[in-house]
Amino acid sequence: MAYRLKVNGERRTVDAEGDTPLLWALRDELDLKGSKFGCGMAQCGACTVHLDGQAVRSCSIPIEAVKDAPITTIEGVGASAIGRTVQAAWIAADVAQCGYCQAGQIMSASALLASNPSPSDAEIDAAMAGNLCRCGAYLRIRAAIKLAASKLGGAK
């Protein structure tokens, strides 16, 4: 069955079963490989995208549930000032090691800053707790979020 999805500002058609997880529709049907597969059960955050501006785990959302909600992926997040700033902060803070988890981290961080421009340490930890990093880049992730917040004018 064909589903019309709004991905990164474009209408895209996905011809797949309704129970196909959004992650696999993005990766294999739409060739957007930035969202990553890590666990398939909402445990690791590697697949995080924005659905209606909220950070969600795309591995655990079937495409039939998406309906009209706009989807933003790591490939499109740079179109917003917040996304661009977070990406730049990730480069400036030199966060990535292997880099595999970082798309998901950036999506969670940019959703956090969109709703809370000046998060405290505890708020950062709470918002990022669903994103695992096997390489252990957590300290730089915290630093990068603070840097992005200050660039966006919201830092405390």
**75-88 as b/e: b if 16+ CB within 10 A:** bbbbeeebbebbbe
Q: How many angstroms separate the CA atoms of 75 and 78, rounded? A: 7
CA atoms of 20 and 17, how far apart (whole Å)? 6
Distance, in Å, from the CA atom of 135 to the CA atom of 48, rounded to the nearest integer, reads 18
Question: In angstroms, what is the minimal distance from the CB of 43 to ligand FES?
Answer: 5
CA gap 10, 27 in Å, rounded: 16
Near other proteins by CB under 8 A: residue from 3, 30, 38, 82: 38
Q: Which of residues 123-152 bind other proteins (CB under 8 A)?
A: 124-126, 128-129, 131-142
* Interaction between residue 46 and ligand FES (CB under 6 A): yes
Q: Does 78 bind other proteins (CB under 8 A)?
A: yes
Residue 44 binds ligand FES, judged by CB under 6 A: yes
Spatial distance between the Cα atoms of 63 and 96, rounded to a whole number of angstroms: 30
- State the helix-helix crossing angle for 121-128 and 138-151, rounded to 10 degrees: 120
CA dist., res. 53 & res. 47, Å (int): 15
CB of 67 to ligand FES, least distance (A): 20
61 binds other proteins (CB under 8 A): no
Task: Kindly tell me which residue out of 135, 143, 152, 155 binds ligand FES, with binding defined by CB under 6 A.
Answer: 135
Compute the least distance from the CB of residue 106 to ligand FES, in Å.
11
Binding residues vs other proteins (CB under 8 A)? 16-17, 19-21, 24-25, 27-29, 31-41, 43-44, 46, 73-75, 78, 87, 90-91, 94-103, 106, 124-126, 128-129, 131-142
Binding residues vs ligand FES (CB under 6 A)? 37-40, 42-47, 57, 59, 96-102, 133-135, 137
